[in-house]
Amino acid sequence: MLQETTQPTHEDRLQRALLSLDGLSVGDALGQLLSTCARSARRVIEQDALPSSYWWHTDDTQMAMSLVEELAALKRVSPDSLAHRFAQRFKADPGRGYGKGARMQLEQIAASESWRESSAAAFSGRGSKGNGSAMRVAPLGAYFADDLDLVLSESTQSSIVTHSHPEGIAGSIAVALAAAQAWQARFLDLDSARQLIWDTVLDRTPPGETLDGIRKARAVPFEMSAENAARILGSGFLVTAPDTVPFALWCALRHLNNYREALISTLEGDGDCDTNCAIMGGIVALFVGREGIPASWLQSREPLLLNFNHPSSLSPEGA
């Protein structure tokens, strides 16, 4: 693997995060758009039957944008600051498909209640093990791709604002690690890149249901159909990290070098389509680069409105 010859700057890291955000947001938007006909996605895409107007994105992208803004401003995650960003975006545009639990938490934070209390109180005091922190975290993995210890600690900090259950945190860590290693593996051959990502995620994801599911996912052959893989692994129908992250990672690695095929494959598994595709897209984009995302899809995706709290010329493609 070729190594970077100089230490990446904050601007370099942000560019990586924005690349991942592009992949995440296109996946989110197309996943949402085709969620009612997910298993017919190949036919729709191959027949060029996608609408050309802006494709609406969901809370997956809204929260990922807040996370990128946090990194742009602070170069790290402050849970207090991130909670405020999540709540402000929610207040400004609540109709983005936020789940019931997320809406309750964000309404409480917006009303100046403690995120620590709302996060800990979720699901009768158990905390949320939903897929919400995993769906938004790939850009963070991209930003900290040079330091896996920071990937673990910062993804944990980004998760606990809304998902304090160990499985919610584990899902966030697993996706962030996969994103980080997709960037680091971009010069490797496909098999070596896959092995590096699997090995890192399995080695560093905390023990539990999510890790068990990822271990099972690695054993599922890529020759299997996505529909059958989803039957084995789950594809987000339960909206939990253990039921979502293993399948999304399998889809990302199955077509790590082909964003279009990865998107189709992920949709063919059905389930929580926008979240599955957001997770996949945020990872695969880091391996294929922005040029690997179909240009017409980037143009059709709703523009991303980012507000950086420091002078910067950075903006995502199409914004």
In the chain, the amino acid numbered 199 is: D
Give the pair of three-digit tokens for residue 76. Answer: 């790290």
Closest by CA to 317, choosing from 93, 57, 49, 19, is 19
**Can you tell me the distance from the alpha carbon of 128 to that of 122, in angstroms, rounded to the nearest whole number?**
6
The answer to whether residue 291 sits within a structural domain is: yes
Predicted TM-score (pTM) of this structure: 0.94
Mean pLDDT computed over 200-223: 98
Mean pLDDT computed over 206-220: 98
Chain position carrying tokens 């969901």: 58
The answer to whether residue 315 sits within a structural domain is: no
4 pLDDT band (50/70/90 cuts)?
low
The answer to whether residue 2 sits within a structural domain is: no
Residue/partner pairs of 190-199 with CB below 8 Å, 24 or more apart = 190/256, 190/257, 193/256, 193/287, 194/253, 194/256, 197/253, 197/256, 198/253
pLDDT tens for each residue of 77-96: 999 999 999 999 999 999 99
Q: What's the structural domain count of the chain?
A: 1
Residue 282 and residue 293 in contact, taking contact as beta carbons nearer than 8 Å: no
- Count CA within 13 A, CB hemisphere, residue 242: 14
The answer to whether residue 154 sits within a structural domain is: yes
What's the CATH number where 90 sits? Answer: 1.10.4080.10
The answer to whether residue 4 sits within a structural domain is: no
The answer to whether residue 65 sits within a structural domain is: yes
The answer to whether residue 187 sits within a structural domain is: yes
The answer to whether residue 309 sits within a structural domain is: no
DSSP state at residue 302 = P
**Can you tell me the distance from the alpha carbon of 247 to that of 235, in angstroms, rounded to the nearest whole number?**
6
Q: Which domain holds residue 253?
A: 10-300
